[in-house]
């Protein structure tokens, strides 16, 4: 039978992987992100200049590629059809994302200063929520919002941005901040979220990392509602402050509204 009519005819027969084998597969995937090579097959190369012996010792290349091809994290029969109110566009990986989020929160307790920002996962496949951001180093990919420890960069919570349907009525930034602090389980625990109004700011040494998520009073209010502190700095021209509060004769504390205080 021609391969065109039966594309799997030239592939080795499938056998269900064991739990240790799945763990080995995931370990190798992590190693690939640490030791980056131009092609996947080079990890099994015997060339002294290119080889990574741990890959050959752990699993054959054909078996790794076979698991990569057929691995599923969710049962397709339980997925809601597109257009259904409860349809989740990342249903196929939702279970594994939940496992990662649980593990990240369990294994590390962040310091009192955290930061929320967007990240891009390089991807050029066919998904409707793929983003193109020409100003970013990674121009094509999947955007995620991440809450991370400001001192170590350790990510405590992630949320995949799936497009306009993910945006509620009103201010997007406030929605993102609220979702991240709730997802990271830091509501009411005395954490401070750091913001940066100037994109030209450079952190030095052990200075806390800060996010360039567009700051607003709505974001500050969301944090106050969640009993979290907030810290931000930037030039006066960048801060979203009413013009009457920028007059030179105003005192150091130039405005206060619903628990949000502006200090000059």
- pLDDT, one tens digit per residue, over 30-39 is 999 899 998 8
Co-location of 58 and 78 in the same domain: no
What's the pLDDT tens digit per position in 52-111?
999 999 999 999 999 998 888 888 888 888 777 778 888 888 888 899 889 998 988 888
Using 50, 70 and 90 to split pLDDT, how confident is the model at 204?
Answer: very low
Mean pLDDT of the residues in the chain: 74
- How many C-beta atoms lie closer than 10 Å to residue 5's C-beta? 7
- Quote the pLDDT of residue 79: 81
Q: Which domain holds residue 197?
A: 108-263
Co-location of 31 and 63 in the same domain: yes
- Quote the pLDDT of residue 212: 43
Asked whether the predicted pLDDT for residue 220 surpasses 70, the reply is: no
Which residues, including other chains, have CB under 8 Å from residue 154's CB and lie 6 or more apart? Answer: 104, 108, 110, 148
- Quote the pLDDT of residue 24: 96
* Sign of CA pseudo-dihedral 73, 78, 82, 83: negative
Asked whether the predicted pLDDT for residue 29 surpasses 60, the reply is: yes
Percentage with pLDDT > 70 across the chain: 65
Co-location of 249 and 121 in the same domain: yes
Co-location of 167 and 231 in the same domain: yes
The rounded distance, in Å, linking the Cα atoms of 91 and 79 is 7
- How many C-beta atoms lie closer than 10 Å to residue 218's C-beta? 17
Using 50, 70 and 90 to split pLDDT, how confident is the model at 227?
Answer: very low
Domain assignment present for residue 213? The answer is yes
- Quote the pLDDT of residue 237: 47
Q: What SS3 state is found at 238?
A: coil
Cα–Cα distance list, 228 to 113, 193, 209 (Å): 10, 7, 17
The rounded distance, in Å, linking the Cα atoms of 177 and 218 is 10
Q: How many domains does the chain have?
A: 3
- Quote the pLDDT of residue 55: 95
Domain assignment present for residue 1? The answer is no
Domain assignment present for residue 6? The answer is no
Domain assignment present for residue 177? The answer is yes
Co-location of 60 and 171 in the same domain: no
Helices (runs of H) and strands (runs of E) counted in the chain:
6, 8
The rounded distance, in Å, linking the Cα atoms of 184 and 157 is 5
Using 50, 70 and 90 to split pLDDT, how confident is the model at 133?
Answer: confident
Asked whether the predicted pLDDT for residue 207 surpasses 50, the reply is: no
Co-location of 81 and 48 in the same domain: no
Listed in sequence order, the DSSP H helices in the chain are 19-34, 53-58, 61-70, 91-107, 172-183, 217-225
Co-location of 252 and 140 in the same domain: yes
- Do 171 and 219 form a contact (C-beta atoms < 8 A)? yes
Identify the domain boundary among 107, 130, 162.
107
Co-location of 175 and 236 in the same domain: yes
The tokens for 85 are 């109110």
Domain assignment present for residue 3? The answer is no
Co-location of 49 and 136 in the same domain: no
What's the pLDDT tens digit per position in 140-161?
999 888 888 888 888 889 988 8
Question: Of residues 170 and 160, which shows the higher confidence score?
Answer: 160
Question: Of residues 6 and 88, which shows the higher confidence score?
Answer: 88
Co-location of 26 and 140 in the same domain: no
């Amino acid at each position: 039978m021609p391969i065109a009519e039966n594309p799997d005819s030239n592939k080795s027969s499938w056998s269900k992987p064991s739990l240790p084998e799945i763990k080995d597969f995931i370990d190798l995937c992590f190693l690939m992100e640490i030791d980056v090579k131009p092609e996947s097959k080079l990890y099994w190369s015997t060339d002294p200049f290119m080889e990574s012996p741990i890959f050959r010792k752990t699993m054959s290349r054909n078996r790794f590629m076979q698991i990569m091809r057929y691995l599923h994290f969710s049962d397709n029969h339980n997925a809601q059809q597109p257009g259904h109110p409860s349809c989740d566009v990342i249903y196929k990986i939702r279970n594994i994302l939940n496992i990662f989020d649980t593990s990240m929160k369990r294994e590390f307790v962040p310091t009192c200063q955290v930061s929320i920002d967007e990240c891009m996962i390089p991807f050029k496949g066919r998904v409707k929520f793929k983003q193109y951001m020409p100003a970013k180093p990674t121009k094509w990919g999947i955007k995620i919002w991440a809450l991370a420890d400001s001192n170590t960069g350790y990510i405590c919570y992630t949320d995949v941005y799936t497009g306009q349907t993910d945006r509620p009525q009103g201010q997007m930034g406030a929605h993102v901040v609220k979702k991240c602090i709730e997802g990271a389980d830091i509501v009411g625990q005395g954490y401070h979220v750091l913001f940066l109004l100037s994109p030209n700011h450079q952190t030095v040494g052990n200075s806390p990392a800060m996010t360039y998520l567009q700051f607003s009073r709505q974001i500050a209010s969301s944090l106050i509602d969640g009993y979290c502190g907030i810290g931000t700095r930037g030039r006066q021209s960048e801060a979203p402050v009413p013009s009457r509060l920028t007059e030179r004769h105003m005192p150091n504390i130039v405005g206060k509204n619903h628990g949000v205080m502006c200090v000059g």
